[in-house]
Amino acid sequence: MAEVRMDYRRGSYGDDAEVLSRRLTSSLGRASPKSPTEALQPEAIPPPPARSQAARHPLVVFFNFILTAAIVCVVALVGGVFVAKMQFDRPTALDQPRAITVDHGVSVDGIAEQLQKDGLIGSKWLFVGGVLLAHQQGNLKAGEYLIPAHASMRDIMDAMVTGKGILYSVSIPEGLTSQQIVDRLKSEDILVGDVKAVPAEGALLPETYKFTRGDTRQSIIDRMERERDSVVADVWAHRAADLPLKTPQDLVVLASIVEKETALADERSRVAAVFVNRLKLNMRLQSDPTVIYGLFQGAGKPSGYTLTRADVEKQTPFNTYVISGLPPAPIANPGRASLEAVANPSRTRDLFFVADGSGGHAFAETYEAHLKNVGRWRDINANTGAAIAGDSGAPEANSAAPVPAAATPVIAKPTAAKPGAPRIITPVAPSGTAPAAGDNQPMTLTPIPTIDPNAPDPEGAAGQ
């Protein structure tokens, strides 16, 4: 066992002679102390090696300084950007929503100055820097913006980049002329600029249009024209196959008449059917709104004006009491509902309609049935004390059909479908005679023979 231990020590440290040799070599490498005190003193540390001449060269020193300064600047810049980003994204102290208007042509610096002046941001330069770092300096849009409470600078920037400003709207009712629509846009103070020219009648789609402050009036007109073209193309593509209309423009012309005749949604297709049936029979349309448009064009009928027999007999290109077929152009701007009603009218044989006393109309296929409806309307007016020959000045619906004897059948109807007092001008009894016509005298007409809608088209059915 002792021999094993000896072998283990010799294997680890060598034999005794080697161990003694190493100890002697180590002791000879150190100076022997001369006294116990000297033995307790630490050994002196050798001096560092001498600095090379190349390290002390001025260019080396200069470049070392530049490198150090660059590192410090980069660290400071990164830290500054980090802090600035935190400030840019931090909610502001704005305690309630505020509106701000950015005009066209204002620079990023001008926008930042305005925001700081209005108390929406704390630092103009911080906002400018954030916009530049985001590369959005060319994407900020003019407009009016509602800045929510506690919105950050980034929120403000994003709102201006997307252009999500305060939205306004203008509602254009169906049945207005193009001139009336332009006049309505001119009354909107939030819009700017002029309209280049009054669009053609029927070229605009009545609808509610949204816009932001600073949008131009012409831009609204352009949108209305694009929407109209799109709707007309879609409706025309889905029209009934047997319509007596040749072009999309014919569709718009007849829809404009239907638009002026009734404001009731459930009546449009039936009113359209009356006119479609008349066109198929080569009968005159005899629509009062066409008379009014022929007299006053896009300005519309003056308030309180009452149509007279002389008006109805006056030759104008639009007067469907004296012309056959459709007018040469629309008389208003119809809405989509009227366009669809004309494209797919009700499947009826109606040729006449008159007010029914409830705000709608009573329809008839024959002239005799029509006269009965007229009689009921007169009884309603007699019981209620309503004026028969009054006029409201509201958008026109069709009234009577004053035509010479031996012409076409009569359409008799009031303005009750539109807001305002009702108006009706009806035929007199068969034995009656028409009084002398005058410019200020309401019309009273002699009835004409009935045309059977099932019979072949007779000679002179177009009111020659």
Q: Which tens digit of pLDDT belongs to each residue from 24-33?
A: 565 555 555 5
What is the structure's pLDDT at 313? 93
pLDDT of residue 364: 94
Measure the CA–CA gap between 51 and 54, rounded to whole angstroms: 9
Query: Quick one: CA torsion of 443, 448, 452, 457, rounded to 10 degrees?
Result: -100
**Where does 152-191 have alpha helices with state H?**
153-162, 178-186
| Residue 166 near residue 238 (C-beta atoms within 8 A) | no
**Rounded Cα–Cα distance for residues 464 and 1 (Å):** 148
Question: Each residue's pLDDT tens digit in the chain (464 positions)?
Answer: 445 454 545 555 556 666 666 665 655 555 555 677 766 777 777 777 766 666 566 776 777 778 888 888 888 777 767 777 788 888 888 888 888 888 888 899 999 999 988 888 888 888 888 898 888 888 898 888 888 888 888 898 998 898 888 899 999 999 999 999 999 999 999 899 999 999 999 999 999 999 988 889 999 999 999 999 999 999 999 999 999 999 999 999 999 999 999 989 999 999 999 999 999 999 999 999 999 999 999 999 998 898 899 999 999 999 999 999 999 999 999 999 999 999 999 999 999 988 888 888 999 999 999 999 999 988 888 877 544 333 323 333 333 333 332 233 333 333 333 333 333 333 333 333 333 333 333 333 323 333 333 333 332 223 32
Measured CA to CA in angstroms, residue 386 lies from 413, 423, 424, 445 at distances of 15, 9, 11, 21
Q: Distance between CA 266 and CA 50 in Å, rounded?
A: 107
* DSSP, res 192: B
3-state secondary structure of 353: strand
The letter for the amino acid at 192 is V
Residue 72 CA neighbour count, 13 Å, CB half? 6
Residues of each domain in the chain carrying CATH 3.30.1490.480: 98-162
Burial 236-264 (b: 16+ CB within 10 A, else e): beebeeebbbeebbbbbbbbbbbbbbbbe
Q: Which pLDDT belongs to residue 447?
A: 33
Cα 360 from chain centroid?
33
CA angle 187, 192, 197 (to 5 degrees): 75
Total-model pTM: 0.65
| Contacts for 321-325: CB closer than 8 Å, 24+ residues apart | 321/284, 321/286, 321/290, 321/291, 321/401, 321/402, 321/403, 322/463, 323/284, 324/282, 324/284, 324/462, 324/463, 325/279, 325/285
Instruction: Summarize pLDDT for 215-249 with one digit per residue, the tens.
Output: 899 999 999 999 999 999 999 999 999 999 999 99
Left, alpha or beta for 286 (phi > 0: left; psi -120 to 50: alpha)? left
**CA 439/CA 321 separation, integer angstroms:** 17
Q: Are strands 167-171 and 208-212 parallel, antiparallel or unpaired?
A: antiparallel
Give the CA dihedral 444, 448, 453, 458, nearest 10 degrees: -140
pLDDT of residue 265: 92
The CATH class of 98-162 is: alpha beta
* pLDDT at 391 (0 to 100): 33
What is the pLDDT of the chain when averaged over all its residues? 77
Residue 33: its pLDDT value, please? 57
Residues in the chain: 464
**How far apart, in Å, are the Cα atoms of 166 and each of 219, 223, 387?**
17, 19, 48
In contact, 354 and 414? CB cutoff 8 Å: yes
The SS3 assignment for 183 reads: helix
342 Cβ partners below 8 Å, 6+ apart?
243, 245, 251, 254, 255, 258, 272, 275, 276
Q: How many CB atoms lie within 10 A of CB 426?
A: 25
Q: How far apart are the first and last CA of the chain?
A: 148
Q: How remote is the C-alpha of 405 from its chain's centroid?
A: 51
- Where does 56-152 have alpha helices with state H? 58-89, 108-117, 124-133
Contact predicate 63/54, CB 8 Å = no
The sign one gets for the Cα dihedral 339, 342, 347, 351 is positive
